Amino acid sequence: MKEKVVIFVSILLAIIVFFTVCATTMVVINKGKVVQTASTLSNYNAEKENSINENIETNNIIKKESKKTTQTENKIVNEKAKEETKNKKEEIYKAVDEKVYAITTVHIREKDDTESNILATVNLGDNLQRVAVGSNGWSKIKYNNVVGYISTQYISEEKPPEKEKVDIEINTERKIDPSKPMVALTFDDGPNPNSTPRILDALEKNKCVATFFDLGTCMSNYPDITKREEAIGCEVGSHTYGHKNLDNLSKEQILEDIKNAEIVYKNTLGHDLTLVRPPYGNANSIVKLTLNYPLINWDVDTLDWKSKNKDSIIAEVKKVGNLDGRIILMHSIYNSTADAVEELIPQLLNEGYQLVTISELAKYKNIELKTHTAYWGFK
């Protein structure tokens, strides 16, 4: 019986040992498999990454190649366009043979391009021979021994008007010393019923004068103020009828505006207009050719319309330094300008300046006022 028990226990132990060995082996095998699977996965990922990188690289190469192709294609297209433009340029010029005139000071260029070399410079009224007219806005012209291009807008088949000297009668009662400094105050855009009389009071009080470039529209509303300007010895010019930017108008529109201004001026003051200030100082070659007046601009801008501030207006004048021969721009329609003038006039007189009109300043600075001409000061 004891033997039977020993055999049974031994068999049981053997079975236990067997199963234990089997289980351990399985675990080891499985572990290996897991490790192997993990390593395979990691290899797979690395390969995938490589493949993606390769893919990107390949794509980049393809892109580069396609860029190269596009560049080449663009080059071909550009060259074709250039060729076409060149052909067109040759086509758009129509041969002519006619006499034309320069309507302003303008350059003759080697090519029909504002960047090309200047061959010569012509002036208002110079006679030129046009040999071809282009639909690109340029004309091919001959001038003396020069053959080149001028922008068609600066030439005219019609002979431009001669610039004529304008003589304006000077009030001889006022004593001006030509050896002493003088400056011209000028006032635009009025008359205005509030501020203009204040400016006139300041002038009258200090026994000095200025020039008013009045608007036709305002002059017809307040003719008495314009009359007073002249009555106290000031000069009155026209700032046109409607204050339009003349550079944007046709010759006919400019003539219509100035005609209206002339009528109001003569009705108000009983004599003809002599001086014009174009709005914004704008006078292109068409404006200058069309307006039969000296066009009086300025060389000191007080910016009174912008600051509307007495101290700032005075500071703009003071920062110029020597004002002898200068034309100062102001506007007679602001009370801030009247405030500034009330202080500025006695200050200028104290500094030894004579306040004169535009035609007095031109006369004493030996400037001949001519029609169809714009002036930016008489210095």
Known catalytic residues are 188, 331
With H, G, I as helix, E, B as strand and everything else as coil, classify residue 260. Answer: helix
How far are the Cα atoms of 21, 36, 360 from residue 363, in angstroms, in the given order?
130, 109, 5
Instruction: Please identify, among the stretches 105-113, 180-188, 222-230, 258-266, the one whose residues bind Zn ion according to the rule CB under 5 A.
Output: 180-188
Instruction: State how far the Cα of 160 lies from the Cα of 101, in Å rounded to an integer.
Output: 7
- Measured between its terminal Cα atoms, the distance across the chain in Å is 147
Q: Which lies closer to Zn ion via its Cβ, residue 188 or residue 339? A: 188
Report the residue count for the chain: 379
Binding mask 256-295 for Zn ion (x = CB under 5 A): -----------------------x----------------
One of 102, 124, 139, 189 touching Zn ion (CB under 5 A): 189
State in angstroms the smallest separation of the CB of 117 from Zn ion. Answer: 39
One of 188, 316, 339, 360 touching Zn ion (CB under 5 A): 188
Q: Which lies closer to Zn ion via its Cβ, residue 228 or residue 244? A: 244
State in angstroms the smallest separation of the CB of 349 from Zn ion. Answer: 27
State in angstroms the smallest separation of the CB of 345 from Zn ion. Answer: 22
Instruction: Please identify, among the stretches 86-94, 176-184, 188-196, 307-315, the one whose residues bind Zn ion according to the rule CB under 5 A.
Output: 188-196
State in angstroms the smallest separation of the CB of 341 from Zn ion. Answer: 17
Instruction: Please identify, among the stretches 64-72, 108-116, 182-190, 341-349, the one whose residues bind Zn ion according to the rule CB under 5 A.
Output: 182-190
The residue with its CB nearest to Zn ion is 188
Instruction: State how far the Cα of 243 lies from the Cα of 249, in Å rounded to an integer.
Output: 12
Candidates 274, 273, 295, 275; CA nearest to 284 is 295
Residue type, 339: D
Residue with token string 């005219």? 156
State in angstroms the smallest separation of the CB of 278 from Zn ion. Answer: 9
Candidates 40, 344, 93, 375; CA nearest to 213 is 375
Identify whether the C-beta of residue 332 lies closer than 8 Å to the C-beta of residue 188.
Answer: yes
Q: Bridge-partner residues for 183, per DSSP?
A: 355
State in angstroms the smallest separation of the CB of 330 from Zn ion. Answer: 11
Q: Which lies closer to Zn ion via its Cβ, residue 182 or residue 374? A: 374
Instruction: State how far the Cα of 53 lies from the Cα of 47, in Å rounded to an integer.
Output: 10
Q: Which lies closer to Zn ion via its Cβ, residue 104 or residue 211? A: 211
Q: Evaluate the omega torsion of the peptide bond into residue 191 and state whether it is cis, within 30 degrees of 0.
A: yes
162 secondary structure, DSSP code: P
| Torsion sign across C-alpha atoms 253, 258, 259, 263 | positive
- Residue 293 has, within 13 A of its CA and on its CB side, a CA count of 24
Q: Which lies closer to Zn ion via its Cβ, residue 188 or residue 360? A: 188
Q: Bridge-partner residues for 132, per DSSP?
A: 95, 140
State in angstroms the smallest separation of the CB of 199 from Zn ion. Answer: 15
With H, G, I as helix, E, B as strand and everything else as coil, classify residue 95. Answer: strand
Triad 153, 154, 160: Cα angle to 5°: 115
* Binding-site size, Zn ion (CB under 5 A): 3
Q: Which lies closer to Zn ion via its Cβ, residue 279 or residue 294? A: 279
Instruction: Please identify, among the stretches 113-121, 130-138, 189-197, 230-238, the one whose residues bind Zn ion according to the rule CB under 5 A.
Output: 189-197
Q: Which lies closer to Zn ion via its Cβ, residue 155 or residue 264? A: 264
Residues forming contacts to Zn ion in the complex (CB under 5 A) are 188-189, 279
